[in-house]
């Protein structure tokens, strides 16, 4: 829970008969993030309110049952993934002696490793949604929740609540399909399994791109298209075997070179896409900065929250991580997409591009090598 919400909850829960005085909202918002946390700790100590009281006030009334249910689902998910990997490996070993039985066991392993965790994920999110709705009907907490949520009228691309079901559905399904494709990547030695990997990998990352777009994370949505391209290429390569086998190896070479060049140019392509979309310049103010890896010894990454207006509507936009430090209260001109004001262009290279390049390069190298029939050992 962020300090701003915690402080407002403290003001709601404090006994009105006490003579303890807390800061006004404007005074608290003017503090630095570190000072805000320090003030929250001071207020909790002086009022005697504990963290558990804040969590109970902000979260559902039956939080204990929900936490117990979530813990059970986490155990089921972990055991299912472990059992799935063991089952899939066992099936691979059996394919040499009995191909049909081994293939069936591999499929069961994929279901355990990817399907069951996806179901558990959705069950947990649905239960969380149900408990949130029950909380809103509880007179003890409904007023607090409505006041906190009603304070911020700006259009945001982030929230402390559970994401919409369509975001969870597309994102969870995408993760499950990508997990299944990575498992199939280690076993495909035929045209059919190669097409299966390509289809799963492409569909999985396409769904993740859609999920990020639905949650107003436009930059992440663009980046998900680069790994999705791997699946599409591998699927096309294996379809080439069925159509014209003699062109297969030449196609693998050409596709590998073209894709690696695309990866190296990813930051340039990313900025070109953003520059083409974002054509309107508006003044923006940084109202919050999140340090995404403060414990790391390497250079820290920062995630700024920008406030700006367009066509009479206020927007709060949580930017992607960057190594460029932005101070709270700093102002700058940013470019936005007039048709989608949460699509912004800061004229800087996101640090996540480097991680995506490494992931795509490793996955593409393995996939293209296996596609060409070159053993990895």
Delimit the domains of the chain by residue range: 3-44, 59-151, 276-351
Choose from 147-151, 173-177, 243-247 the range with maximum mean pLDDT.
173-177
What is the predicted pLDDT for the residue at 101? 75
Asked whether 110 and 183 are in contact (CB, 8 A), the reply is yes
The 10s digit of each residue's pLDDT in 310-333 is 888 888 888 777 767 777 778 888
Asked whether 320 and 352 are in contact (CB, 8 A), the reply is yes
More confident residue, 205 or 181: 205
Distance of CA 335 to the CA centre of its chain: 24
What is the predicted pLDDT for the residue at 277? 85
Q: Strand 155-156 relative to strand 313-318: parallel, antiparallel, unpaired? A: parallel
Query: Residue 165, by phi and psi: left (phi above 0), alpha (psi -120 to 50) or beta?
Result: alpha
In this predicted structure, the answer to whether residue 151 has a pLDDT above a threshold of 70 is no
In this predicted structure, the answer to whether residue 375 has a pLDDT above a threshold of 60 is no
In this predicted structure, the answer to whether residue 53 has a pLDDT above a threshold of 80 is no
pTM of the complete model: 0.56
Q: What is d(CA 306, CA 267) in angstroms, rounded to the nearest whole number?
A: 22
What is the predicted pLDDT for the residue at 136? 58
**Range scoring the smallest mean pLDDT among 157-171, 173-187, 330-344:** 157-171
- Residue 366 CB partners (closer than 8 Å, separation 6+): 185, 376
Q: What is d(CA 300, CA 88) in angstroms, rounded to the nearest whole number?
A: 39
Provide the mean pLDDT of the chain.
73
What is the predicted pLDDT for the residue at 148? 46
Q: What is d(CA 361, CA 377) in angstroms, rounded to the nearest whole number?
A: 18
Enter the tokens of residue 94.
Answer: 């059996």
Band the pLDDT of 300: cuts 50, 70, 90. Answer: low
Using N-to-C axis directions, what is the helix angle for 63-94 and 116-137, rounded to 10°?
170
What is the predicted pLDDT for the residue at 112? 75
In this predicted structure, the answer to whether residue 160 has a pLDDT above a threshold of 80 is no
Which ranges constitute the DSSP H helices of the chain? 3-13, 25-29, 33-47, 51-58, 63-94, 99-110, 116-137, 139-151, 165-185, 191-214, 218-223, 225-243, 248-264, 266-277, 352-371
What is the predicted pLDDT for the residue at 61? 38
> How deeply is 234 buried, as exposed, middle or buried, from its count of CB atoms within 10 A (0-12, 13-18, 19+)?
buried
Q: 316 φ, ψ to 5°?
A: -120, 120
Asked whether 371 and 235 are in contact (CB, 8 A), the reply is no
Residue owning tokens 């066991």: 105
Q: What is d(CA 169, CA 160) in angstroms, rounded to the nearest whole number?
A: 18
The 10s digit of each residue's pLDDT in 252-278 is 788 888 888 888 887 788 888 888 888
Choose from 9-13, 26-30, 41-45 the range with maximum mean pLDDT.
41-45
Q: What is d(CA 82, CA 84) in angstroms, rounded to the nearest whole number?
A: 5
């Amino acid at each position: 829970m962020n300090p701003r919400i915690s402080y407002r909850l403290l003001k709601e829960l404090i006994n009105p008969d006490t003579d303890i005085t807390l800061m006004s909202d404007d005074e608290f918002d003017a503090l630095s993030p570190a000072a805000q946390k320090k003030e929250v700790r001071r207020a909790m100590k002086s009022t005697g309110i504990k963290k558990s009281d804040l969590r109970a006030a902000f979260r559902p009334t039956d939080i204990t049952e929900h936490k117990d249910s979530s813990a059970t689902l986490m155990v089921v998910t972990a055991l299912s993934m472990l059992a799935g990997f063991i089952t899939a490996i066992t099936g691979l070993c059996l394919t040499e002696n009995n191909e049909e039985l081994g293939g069936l066991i591999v499929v069961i392993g994929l279901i355990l490793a990817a399907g069951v965790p996806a179901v558990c994920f959705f069950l947990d999110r649905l239960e969380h949604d149900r408990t949130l709705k029950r909380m809103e009907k509880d007179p003890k907490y409904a007023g607090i929740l409505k006041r906190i949520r009603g304070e911020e009228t700006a259009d945001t691309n982030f929230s402390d609540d559970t994401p919409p079901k369509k975001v969870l559905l597309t994102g969870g399904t995408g993760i499950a399909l990508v997990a299944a494709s990575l498992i199939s990547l280690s076993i495909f030695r035929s045209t059919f399994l190669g097409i299966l990997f390509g289809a799963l990998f492409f569909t999985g990352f396409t769904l993740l791109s859609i999920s990020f777009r639905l949650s107003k994370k436009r930059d992440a949505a663009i980046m998900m298209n680069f790994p999705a391209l791997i699946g599409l290429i591998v699927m096309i390569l294996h379809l080439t075997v069925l159509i014209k086998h003699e062109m297969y190896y030449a196609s693998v070479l050409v596709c590998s070179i073209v894709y690696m060049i695309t990866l190296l140019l990813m930051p340039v392509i990313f900025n070109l896409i953003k520059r083409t979309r974002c054509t309107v310049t508006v003044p923006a103010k940084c109202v919050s900065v999140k340090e995404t890896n403060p414990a790391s010894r390497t250079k820290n990454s920062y995630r700024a929250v920008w406030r700006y207006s367009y066509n009479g509507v206020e927007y709060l936009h949580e930017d992607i991580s960057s190594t460029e430090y932005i101070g709270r209260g700093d102002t700058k001109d940013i470019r936005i997409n007039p048709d989608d004001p949460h699509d912004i262009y800061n004229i800087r290279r996101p640090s996540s591009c480097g991680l995506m390049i490494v992931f795509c390069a490793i996955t593409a190298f393995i996939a293209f090598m296996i596609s060409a029939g070159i053993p990895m050992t």
